[in-house]
Amino acid sequence: MARCPALVIAAPASGQGKTAVTAALARLHARQGRRVRVFKCGPDYLDPHWHQLASGAPVHQLDLWMTGEADCAQRLAQAAAQADLLLVEGVMGLFDGEHSVAALARRFGMPVLAVVDAGAMGGTLGAVVHGLRHYWADLPWAGVLANRVAGERHADMLRAGLRDGADWLGALPRLTDAAAGTGEPGGLLPERHLGLVGAQELPDALQRLDAAADALAATPLGRMDLQALQRFAVDFAAPVQPTPVPPLLAGRTVAVAQDAAFCFVYDANLDTLRSLGARVALFAPLRGDPLPACDAVWLPGGYPELHADTLAANTALREALRAHVGAGRPVWAECGGMLALLESLTLADGRSVPMWGLLPGRAAMRRRLAALGPREVLLDGVDGAHALRGHTFHYSTTDSPATACAHTRRPGEDAVDEPVYRHGSIRASYFHAWFASSPRAVAALFTQAP
């Protein structure tokens, strides 16, 4: 049993400021020398960049469906045994989805801190908080942090609307990058079409987090020391140890592309490859790295559309991949990785860029979201007990004559969804896999030539 203060940072909806508050709270305590571990609910590659920078520790996913309850229990218990504070950033609204943030908080007894955008709100905050707190009678509760508040008078109005004054954990002003002393006024954590800009892409990222942490330090929540945080302490039971993963990739090297074009990589996926016995060799196509000597290649998702010309010009890597595929060695390409393999990619401005041409077909960027949500897939040659779970999230569409060797499905539905293409030793899809959901299926991806 490990006991540790823990907060689930949730909201009534997306866009309320959960990520900024979570990162600010992590940064505030980390710079005071406390050991902070942050988790992110649901599939997300971008918010964890900020949380890792803020906390100085790896950030993993928690999801009652995608990662599974046992995986969540194990990760929380391990972190609680090592940390002074656990923070879990929610996703969407508190009660949204069958496997909601509220369900996760209730399952593990973690109190909910509600972040509410109160910029255009007064006493109604009290009604919103009352609803969030009492919609489920057994929901663990911490309180509310009002976000984007105009000033002290506005904060007093918001606080007066609460039925229980103990719910008030403070108010934050609207934070802009001007608050960090950099750039033109805008969002402190800038966004683009797939979410936040990654922290590693901004040279002043830590300065932005410090500005948010400074603002949070002036609130009742931010003034809590370790002793005060004990009001949020949770007992995390030691989970049943999982069955060891057999070393199905022992002696094999998996080359993994990782840079700004291929940045959608869960650390837990790399851990799974290593637990299977694989040697992981990272390389950066945008930097011109050669393809490492390897038995298999993983091209993760990311932003090939932002770096299309550079990728297209990397003919040495293209030819190395062509030789790899010609030798029958496996390639697994997810979303953006798949786009890089196609014949061409039409960008949002209408310009068509030739890509590596190893997978027949073309893709085009769209202005609207094309697909979003949890998915699972049963790959050919892997029995039904080992379906991979994951998700899809993309703004492009693809037209390919390649064979569909499998199709993803939404949880609990029989109807097929997006294809998994097969072309020679390449498998490619919009599907982002959570490798730990089926290590055997992952081993098959990197050993079997279709």
Active site residues: 335
The C-alpha atoms of residue 406 and residue 302 are separated, in whole angstroms, by: 22
- CB-based burial label for 5 (10 Å; 0-12, 13-18, 19+): buried
The C-alpha atoms of residue 13 and residue 18 are separated, in whole angstroms, by: 10
The C-alpha atoms of residue 104 and residue 39 are separated, in whole angstroms, by: 12
Check residue 350 and give left, alpha or beta (phi > 0: left; psi -120 to 50: alpha): left
What are the Cα distances from residue 125, in Å, to 13, 29, 102, 133?
Answer: 14, 27, 19, 12
The C-alpha atoms of residue 403 and residue 400 are separated, in whole angstroms, by: 8
Q: What is the CB neighbour count within 10 angstroms for residue 328? A: 10
The C-alpha atoms of residue 155 and residue 171 are separated, in whole angstroms, by: 6
What are the Cα distances from residue 301, in Å, to 3, 160, 449?
Answer: 37, 47, 21
Tokens of 93: 């609204």
Q: What is the CB neighbour count within 10 angstroms for residue 152? A: 9
Residues in the chain: 450
Query: Are 132 and 163 within 8 A, CB to CB?
Result: no
Alpha helix (H) ranges present in 81-168?
101-108, 124-134, 152-160
What are the Cα distances from residue 134, in Å, to 121, 127, 250, 273, 280?
Answer: 20, 11, 51, 43, 47
- Residue 332 carries which side chain, given as an amino acid letter? W
